[in-house]
Chains A and B, each alone.
Chain A
């Protein structure tokens, strides 16, 4: 892991794409960006004409050197910041960002070679996608698995990239659909259970590093089960997005 300076930067919006019906991918060009490790996040600070400010954290879907920074933001109904980012932001707009942040919830290709289990709830997949992509690009030998809990097939973030990693064998990918499954799916929609977790995740015996990210109740439930299943609590790294 390289120590990267954290600071405030001016970012220019270079591209916007719909990610799902409620989420948007936002590409930024940040000329002063020092690069970031997979899993890091940044804070966005918005300022209104009367000086009022609001700031929120967003994980970074991209990683490595370079000044291109990719975010994926899900719109929280009646939220203050996410509806602005998903609906109102335009290409060429400028944003103030503070980062890169986080030296805890990161994975890097030169970390210890150990199996990695990624467990995502909803938009919590963003930092885990950055890890899976860095792993795929590095041809890293550690075995990567992802368990991704999402409302419906249409709500998956980075669906085609993740399928690509899975097709190339750099990622074992499992989904839990909570509201609606694809046609012909073997199990009815429902929340993740301890049994599903146990069946899809690396077992504690192989000493994986586990990254869990998503809404706070999801993260706390899954982290609790992982401890019950014998995982070393110090090897279970968590990041809570709030909400519920």
Chain B
């Protein structure tokens, strides 16, 4: 049983050719959380990359020293909202992986608080992904993933893990948190890769 509710349209859902199928433009920035918001001081923050060959770690200052750049990207949430031309600042993952050797093709992103999400390694390189520290001209607030989150704008936004803590390379494409629970392993918004 389901019927149309007279007068209900939901939030405005406009069309724009820059929007992938099934997406709607929003002006605000909705917050989606699957768990408590961790409170991380940049003095304690540490970023780690783990491969079959060992560990690489960066402190907050060491990460910034790799080189922060400005980017303007569109973001697309699987819950049907998109934000266009959003200004961000972050360290490109190309810099992070400059001295990292691995034969693995996939990466599991791990967050403070335990969240995980899987991404193919080659989709994090060539200017496609960042460790982001600012958005809309402001340091990232804890509710939006601060002090640092992964930013992989060409995939649905759940791949842009909030409160990023490290990347662990892996030989096969194992599912992260949402991917284990029914969301798509890859998550390309232009292909509408929402669910398994």
Please say whether the chains A and B touch (CB closer than 8 A): yes
| CB neighbors of A among B1-58 (8 A) | 1-11, 13
Q: Complex Cα distance A53/B10, Å?
A: 8
Contact A54:B7 (CB < 8 A) given known A10-B1, A96-B2: no
Shortest CB-to-CB span from A65 to chain B, Å, is: 23
Kindly supply a per-residue 1/0 record for chain A positions 52-66, scoring 1 wherever the CB is within 8 Å of any chain B CB and 0 otherwise: 111000000000000
Kindly supply a per-residue 1/0 record for chain A positions 63-105, scoring 1 wherever the CB is within 8 Å of any chain B CB and 0 otherwise: 0000000000000000010001000111001111000000000
Q: Which residue of B lies closest to A52 (CB)?
A: B10
| Contact A95–B5 (Cβ < 8 Å) | yes
Q: Complex Cα distance A50/B5, Å?
A: 11
**Chain B residues whose CB sits within 8 angstroms of the CB of A158 once the complex forms:** none
What's the A-B contact tally at a CB cutoff of 8 Å?
45
Decide if A237 is an interface residue (CB 8 Å cutoff): no
Decide if A8 is an interface residue (CB 8 Å cutoff): yes
| Contact B8–A48 (Cβ < 8 Å) | yes
Decide if A46 is an interface residue (CB 8 Å cutoff): yes
| CB neighbors of B among A1-56 (8 A) | 8, 10, 45-50, 52-54
**Chain B residues whose CB sits within 8 angstroms of the CB of A53 once the complex forms:** 2
| Contact B5–A8 (Cβ < 8 Å) | no
**Chain B residues whose CB sits within 8 angstroms of the CB of A46 once the complex forms:** 5, 8, 10
**Chain A residues whose CB sits within 8 angstroms of the CB of B6 once the complex forms:** 90, 93-94
Q: Complex Cα distance A181/B18, Å?
A: 52
Name B residues whose Cβ lies closer than 8 Å to a Cβ of A: 1-11, 13
10 tightest Cβ-Cβ pairs between the two chains A and B: A46-B5, A46-B8, A52-B10, A48-B10, A88-B7, A48-B9, A47-B4, A47-B5, A93-B6, A8-B1
17 new A-B contacts at CB < 8 Å, known A84-B8, A90-B6: A8-B1, A46-B5, A46-B10, A47-B2, A47-B3, A48-B8, A50-B13, A54-B8, A54-B10, A90-B7, A93-B5, A93-B6, A94-B3, A94-B6, A95-B5, A96-B1, A96-B5
